[in-house]
Structure 1
Amino acid sequence: MIGASREALAAGRQNLESLTDSTSVDAVKLAEELTAVTVLLDREVSLRRVLTDPSRSGQDKAQLVSSLLAGQVSGETVDLASGLVRSRWSGSRDLVDATEELAAYAEVIAAEKAGVLDDVEDELFRFGRVVCGSHELRSALTEPKAGSASKAALIKKLLGGRANAGTVRLVTALVTQPRGRSLEQGLESYSRLAAARRGRVVALVTTAVPLSDGQKERLSGSLARLYGRQVHLNIDVDPEVVGGVRVEIGDEIIDGTVSSRLEGARQSLEG
């Protein structure tokens, strides 16, 4: 998002955080209701255009949202949606994207309150790795012709009883309502939201063998000093790297693997 939309999303996130600071607010319920609002806005093109029309007053758009959602969702969700449409948006699709992101962020907050956010992050990462390693599974979860019900049932079969409920809900929302995103993009966006909630960054670490707890602590500490923030490690074991460590943080790559050095030597010889 750019410009006005980015500012509107930031304001929406602040409103969500303020709401969920109260112990009486059910963040899981907020997430489920915001997901339903996302589906509505994604389906009703004319409605979202009206709700992002800069020629209409924010109060007018908020009243319209309230009239549509009152009695269907909680007052907290109505307040969040009303706040979103009062803002200015660079494009009507941005409103849908923001509502969807707030739904995922509410799940992140719920996981944090329950003390399982680290587990949810790890489960999402491991699930992504499993999917990447199975063409058949990935096809079953991303095939446009497959119905949402069958995809949701497959996720329940794969993760039900094995992962946190929040993980199951996040993955189910992603595979049933991808909205143009790849599965990998969606899982990565969840990881960023969880990291942002903790005020840290996520590093994808690739090694030839599993790291010990001590090695993880030392690597995490070194990266934290380098980036000035806490770093959450997602560890991927790949024997093809031979030895050493490869670290990806955003667009930055620190490649100290033996395989990369061998490839560099090969290219030098060929040159």
Structure 2
Amino acid sequence: MKRLIWITASVLFFSGTAFGQHAYFPEAGIIHFEKRVHLKNFMKRRMALSKDDNFDRSYMEQLMSKAPESYVYKSKLSFNANESRYDAVQEELTGIMRNLEWYGFDHNGSYYQDIGKGLFKNKLDYNGGNILLEDSLLNIKWKITNEYRDIAGYTCRRANGVLLDSVFVVAFYTDVIPLSSGPACMHGLPGMILGLVVPEQHYNIYATKVEIGQPQITSDFAKKRDKPMTRAAFQAFMRDRLRVGDWYTEPEFNFLMINMLL
């Protein structure tokens, strides 16, 4: 009888341990994020980089006087052991926000990463039309620090990164979620990125909740006849379309490209 009780207790203990490990090390699920854009700081930077004749200053001042200091966008990241997809959560915007979005601080993008294959896909909205990108995963140089922060119930470690030659970012990742991915195009750390700060673009993204499950992840963004571009081809296309040097200054164009490529 004692032996039977011991065996039963052992089975329950190890079963509970296995379940606890599965819950503690999720290999698939959905992460909910909030992206906070500091609107007025973003617009001040954008206006400072632009040609004076490209902005109606009085109109912009009127818009900004009615706009909030910051605005929060919601998004979600579906992931499994090999891939992830990050999508905006569609919400109804006020008239002020619809007008301000034209200036490019958010593009309602969808981002797909296949970590094993090193593949990246992106669909973003630009002035009411879709732009499709397909390229290798973005090259990011990371330096891991000894700073920690709790995000959505996970202990996360800070890493400082540089990408697109000179853009500085701060990320907080957890190795409890083993996939080397994160919001938008972020990846390359020993675990999932749950927090991201991009000072130059005046926004931050933090996870609010992690749900364990088996979400369906698709890399399809458009019809087969739609042809995606590489990042280099996209930048060349936009440079020509925006007539850099005529309509856009070089610093303003670079600022916009960083925003669209991240």
Report the TM-score, using the length of structure 1 for normalisation: 0.21
Question: Relative CO higher for 1 or 2, CA cutoff 8 Å, sep ≥ 6?
Answer: 2
Report the TM-score, using the length of structure 2 for normalisation: 0.21
Higher strand share: 2
Higher helix share: 1
